[in-house]
A and B are shown apart, each in its own frame.
Chain A
Amino acid sequence: MEKLLISNTPHVRGKATTRRIMIDVMIALLPATVAGIVFFGWRAALTIVLALISAVASEVVFRLVKKESVKSIIKKYDFTSSVTGLLLGINLGSQSPWYTPILGSVFAIIVVKMLFGGTGKNFVNPAICGRVFLVMSFGAAVGSGWLEPSIPAFLPTESGNLSLLDLLIGTGVAGSIGETSKICLIIGGIYLVVRGVIDWKYPTIYILVTGLTLSIFKLDFSLFLPSILSGGLVLGAIFMATDYVTTPNTMTGNIVYFTALGILTGIFRAVSGGEAVSYCILLMNFTVPLIDRFIVPKPFGYIKPEKPKAAKEGKNG
């Protein structure tokens, strides 16, 4: 009897830690980041580095203000701020002024993440919120870089001049730094799926439903491929919408969430003619608690209780 170890659950632990997952996400973002820097030049690299550094610095400063020791900050640092900074950086135009990535990162980390309690407690995706903050504040300044190489590619009707291959690889496509090269994003997405960080179903649902909704709305199915290969849809679907904190807990909930997200994005794109992915993800993030409230996972081995009438008959029998 003495050899038996008695301990509380959980008895089997996985290797997944927040730190490992976040480093995986950063590795997955690397191809798209490199592609962005190749396409847009050193200004893109500067934007990304500024966003990254200021995001990490904001978290460290916030924790220092809260009188945490440097040792515990380093020990507890889980790389979520780095991911937020990197995502925000590649979500901006390459010609955006130098202060925009800094302001966006500070807003994303301090206001959206740290003020609500840090990692895992933010109610919306910090990078999305930082981007929306910047677009609201400096619409023209942040957007100017998007038109830099050629026409805005997120307008499905105008992307006719570009071949589908161009859209897939990102050559000559306008857009924010990281969103143009779909093939690099998809490679990153496959890496995440292989590492078990995200489920392949959900981004696929989002992307396909968006394309379908837009095609149905415009009654033109030739728009299907150009629309899903343009704009920030692939980036948003793989890296932004799948954020653990801001997606429902159950599989059914996730399917509902990503389908609704796709329908919303498709309609917004069709009606406004502009890019709506970040606003749609932000909007749907607010519905996550609602979805979790109504779609509750069944406990293991749960049997549906019989109706009282049937039970009565059974007793009589």
Chain B
Amino acid sequence: MKAKDIALNGLFRQNPTLKLVLGTCPTLALTTLAMNGIGMGLAVTFVLTCSNIIISLLRNVIPSKVRIPAYILIIATFVTVIRMVLNKFLPDIAASLGTYLPLIVVNCIILGRAEAFASKNPVLASCLDGIFMGLGFMAALTLMGAFREFFGSGTLFGLKVMDFSIGFFVQPAGALFTYAVFIALYSLIFMAVTNRKKAPKTQTAPTTEKEVNGNA
């Protein structure tokens, strides 16, 4: 039950990109291609999971006054690892992520989850939180990337889909526009889901109100 909650929080209910609006810098800069979303998402998932595990293990050892430098040190270690691995084995992805790969160190999602979750919860829960928050980030980035790639360059994951393209969507202004559209769509779905869950309560309330009004 707890694990299901953590998974749902990461993927949907507290989606880091669309609900918490964290890590906007790579979101805006890298979503020109859907492939970038997957690469960045996997890198962040790896760093987030590992740093959550270590921080959760050390949560009773790290003094609260110096916790931020300690977290940054742990995060930077794993960012260096993933950077070296990507540069060695997947140089194409490393090149397309560019400067945003080392910048994962200061990504708010990782520091935010360390502060809000890993420093207060046991290891297994923190590990799951890292995995699903990372996957939620990856899903949002990939969807946004696919949208922008489709309309902006007429391709999808590098494959040609149509000849027509609107250059606006691959430019910075298009990034902000796409982000706004996605947050709006997310809120729409979020409200629909939460309303459906509360449906029995909300459905009965108006009818009684109407009856009262009718009687009055």
> Which A residues fall within an 8 A CB radius of B?
103, 111, 133, 136-139
CB proximity to A under 8 Å, residues B157-196: 166-168, 171, 173, 177
Kindly list chain B residues whose C-beta atoms are within 8 Å of the C-beta of A139: 167
Complex Cα gap A111–B168 (Å): 14
Complex Cα gap A137–B173 (Å): 11
Please classify the interface of chain A as helix (H, G, I), strand (E, B), loop, or mixed, using the class held by over half of its residues: helix
Q: Is the CB of A103 within 8 A of B166?
A: yes
Kindly list chain A residues whose C-beta atoms are within 8 Å of the C-beta of B167: 136-139
Please classify the interface of chain B as helix (H, G, I), strand (E, B), loop, or mixed, using the class held by over half of its residues: helix
Give the Cβ gap from A278 to chain B, nearest Cβ, in Å: 14
Q: How large is the interface on B (under 10, 10 to 19, 20 to 34, 35 or more residues)?
A: under 10
Query: Chain A residue with minimal CB distance to B152?
Result: A137
Complex Cα gap A111–B166 (Å): 15
Complex Cα gap A138–B167 (Å): 7
Query: Chain A residue with minimal CB distance to B167?
Result: A137
Give the Cβ gap from B148 to chain A, nearest Cβ, in Å: 13
Contact of B173 among A103, A136, A138 (CB under 8 A): A136
- From A103, A111, A133, A139, residue with most partner B Cβ within 10 Å: A133
Complex Cα gap A139–B177 (Å): 19
Complex Cα gap A103–B165 (Å): 12
Give the Cβ gap from A83 to chain B, nearest Cβ, in Å: 23
Give the Cβ gap from A140 to chain B, nearest Cβ, in Å: 10
Complex Cα gap A138–B177 (Å): 17
Complex Cα gap A133–B176 (Å): 13
13 CB < 8 A contacts A-B: A103-B166, A111-B177, A133-B168, A136-B167, A136-B168, A136-B171, A136-B173, A137-B166, A137-B167, A137-B168, A138-B166, A138-B167, A139-B167
Kindly list chain A residues whose C-beta atoms are within 8 Å of the C-beta of B177: 111
Kindly list chain B residues whose C-beta atoms are within 8 Å of the C-beta of A111: 177
Kindly list chain A residues whose C-beta atoms are within 8 Å of the C-beta of B171: 136
- From B166, B171, B177, residue with most partner A Cβ within 10 Å: B166
Give the Cβ gap from B173 to chain A, nearest Cβ, in Å: 7
Kindly list chain B residues whose C-beta atoms are within 8 Å of the C-beta of A137: 166-168
Give the Cβ gap from A49 to chain B, nearest Cβ, in Å: 22
New A-B contacts (6) at CB < 8 Å, excluding given A111-B177, A133-B168: A136-B168, A136-B173, A137-B167, A137-B168, A138-B167, A139-B167
Give the Cβ gap from A25 to chain B, nearest Cβ, in Å: 27
